[in-house]
């Protein structure tokens, strides 16, 4: 997705994408990973943890311990929500 960087995880079932570029470009009051997490649960029904909870502001913690179809749907909803910011 444009504006998102991800270092592939090396063993856990969590990814920590860097979404700081998308946060900086937001026009709807999203100013940090916590407000982005709130936005995503309201706008896309995506539950994630702000990276700030792990000392990684500008990132999100996303679990991928689900099936491929659910991951694909979640990523589609994520991209659509980010495009609305």
**Tens digits of per-residue pLDDT, 60-69?**
999 999 999 9
Assign a CATH topology to domain 14-83. 3.90.1150
Instruction: Using the Cα atoms of residue 48, residue 5, residue 31 and residue 52 in order, give the sign of their dihedral.
Output: positive
Q: CA geometry: angle at 55 spanning 8 and 85, to 5°?
A: 70
Distance of alpha carbon 43 from alpha carbon 41, whole angstroms: 6
Q: Tell me the HSE value of 16 on the side-chain side, using a 13 A CA sphere.
A: 15
**The model scores a pTM over 0.95:** no
**Tens digits of per-residue pLDDT, 10-64?**
888 999 999 999 999 999 999 999 999 999 999 999 999 999 999 999 999 999 9
Distance of alpha carbon 77 from alpha carbon 46, whole angstroms: 8
pLDDT of residue 10: 87
List the domain boundaries for the chain: 14-83
């Amino acid at each position: 997705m444009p504006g998102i960087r991800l270092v592939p995880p090396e063993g856990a079932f969590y990814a920590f994408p860097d979404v700081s570029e998308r946060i900086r470009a937001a026009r709807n009051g999203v100013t940090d990973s916590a407000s982005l997490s709130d936005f995503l649960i309201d706008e896309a029904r995506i539950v994630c943890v702000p990276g700030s909870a792990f000392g990684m502001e500008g990132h999100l913690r996303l679990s991928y311990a689900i099936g491929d179809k659910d991951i694909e749907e979640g990523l589609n909803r994520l991209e659509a929500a980010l495009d609305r910011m």
